[in-house]
Amino acid sequence: GAGVSQSPSNKVTEKGKDVELRCDPISGHTALYWYRQSLGQGLEFLIYFQGNSAPDKSGLPSDRFSAERTGGSVSTLTIQRTQQEDSAVYLCASRLESGTFFGQGTRLTVV
């Protein structure tokens, strides 16, 4: 597609449920990033993919968070046993030489 696409755009879930957030990067972009934007913490790096491997997972806040990327394209961020502090906007970005481009984000609300 023309840009980075994220789905769903909004997700409301009950505390303790698992959620999956999807990112479709720009075609051909080999690098993919997940960030979290929350009121108290600003914009935080979560994980970086180069192709299908994740050489930097240093920003994942706990073992409830995981991510994968398949076919060098789509990525899924999974949050298990969601907590209220997981409420945030989750942003995906992809990059090629021309630059880094961000999606619109998924707003996650844990109730």
CB of 46 to other proteins, least distance (A): 10
- Which span sits near other proteins by CB under 8 A: 10-18, 62-70, 78-86, 98-106? 98-106
3-class SS of residue 57: coil
Interaction between residue 25 and other proteins (CB under 8 A): no
* Residues shown for the chain: 111
3-class SS of residue 86: helix
Candidates 10, 62, 83, 100: give the one binding other proteins (CB under 8 A). Answer: 100
Candidates 67, 105, 108, 110: give the one binding other proteins (CB under 8 A). Answer: 105
Whole-number Å distance between alpha carbons of 95 and 85: 29
Distance set, CA 94 to CA 53, 61, 85 (Å): 14, 21, 26
| CA-angle at 86, arms to 3 and 57, nearest 5° | 65
String marking each residue 47-86 x if it binds other proteins according to CB under 8 A: -x-x----xx------------------------------
Residues in touch with other proteins (CB under 8 A): 4, 31, 33, 35, 42-45, 48, 50, 55-56, 91, 93, 95, 99-105
